[in-house]
Amino acid sequence: MQAILVTNDDGISSPGIKALARVLKQLGDVYTVAPEGEQSAVAHSLTLHKPIRSTHAAEKAYFINGTPTDCVILAVNKLLPVRPDIIVSGVNSGANLGDDITYSGTVAAAIEGTLLGIPSIAVSLVRENNSNGNRSSTSGFLTAARYARDIAARVLEKGLPGNTLLNVNVPHVRRIKGIRITKQGRRVYDNLVQERHDPRGREYYWIGGTVPVWESPEDSDFAAVREGYVSVTPVHLDLTNYQALRYLEETWGMTHKSQK
């Protein structure tokens, strides 16, 4: 029996994680360790200066007062009776496309899993306005969870290249056309910060909240979901820009030691 760790950044009570845990039971033993409440956009933050407590919520399910990264570290090192064969983070309520993955707690959990040497997948449901609006998404989360299950099964069978996680985005449409392997797209910052005035006339700022505009080459994550495909982007954790090694060598007149 394979051991599967499920986590997220929307909190243990979110519909996305419930759908994911339920569907992944078809693949193995599912353990859920998730934040107590909403931790979206916390990125890869780690709790170092206050106590973290875990609460046993149900069989094989815990919530903690920490971040998604805390969840993975605690789950793997303390809470689970076995080392997970795979970590699946999500299903996030809202897209994690392009540059936005650098803010994402959902993706950060998969980053932490990858750093611990465990194959990891982040899964997000792309909702129309990317908010937690009123429209019910139960069927969307379930569909996304089923794609997560199929992709997790492939990863369990074939593995993943080193230092690499999969970032999966599932469009919330009636008929999904299939799966596309994609590259990370790029957001164009358009009206990113909104300026408003409070009732006393003082200005305040609100980051985001507008519909983002994307540069979307055909093979990008954004183009895939826009066209009704599930996007699967392999994300590499080595952030070194290898071409820039050469650029720095040439422009700074220094050499990069390629071998020890």
**Residues near Mn ion, by CB under 5 A:** 9-10, 40, 92
Secondary structure (H, E, C), 93-130 = ECCCCHHHHHCCHHHHHHHHHHHCCCCEEEEEEECCCC
Instruction: Return the number of the residue (106 or 216) whose C-beta is nearest Mn ion.
Output: 106
Q: How far is the CB of 40 from Mn ion (least distance, A)?
A: 3
What end-to-end distance do the CA atoms of the chain give, in Å?
A: 42
Question: What DSSP state is assigned to residue 43?
Answer: T
Closest separation in Å from C-beta 211 to Mn ion: 18
Q: What is the nearest approach in angstroms of Mn ion to the Cβ of residue 84?
A: 21
Residue 10 or 85: the one with the smaller Cβ distance to Mn ion is 10
Residue 1 vs 207, nearer CB to Mn ion: 207
8: three-class secondary structure by DSSP: coil
Closest separation between CB of residue 93 and Mn ion, Å?
6
- Total number of residues shown for the chain: 260
CA distance 222 to 214: 7
Q: Closest distance between Mn ion and the C-beta of residue 169, in Å? A: 13
CB nearer Mn ion, residue 85 or residue 100:
100
Q: Where are the beta strands (DSSP E) in the chain?
A: 2-7, 28-35, 54-58, 61-64, 86-93, 120-126, 164-171, 178-181, 186-188, 193-197, 203-207, 213-215, 229-236
Q: Which is nearer to Mn ion, 85 or 98 (CB)?
A: 98
The SS3 of residue 158 is helix
* Residue sitting closest to Mn ion (CB): 40
Minimal distance, residue 109 CB to Mn ion, in Å? 10
What is the C-alpha separation between 46 and 49, in angstroms, rounded? 9
What is the DSSP code string of 82-95?
S--SEEEEEEEES-
Q: Which is nearer to Mn ion, 9 or 85 (CB)?
A: 9
CB of 31: closest distance to Mn ion in angstroms?
Answer: 20
**Would you say 10 or 100 has its CB closer to Mn ion?**
10
Degrees, nearest 5: CA angle 225-91-210: 55
Q: Within a 10 A sphere around the Cβ of 36, how many other Cβ atoms?
A: 17
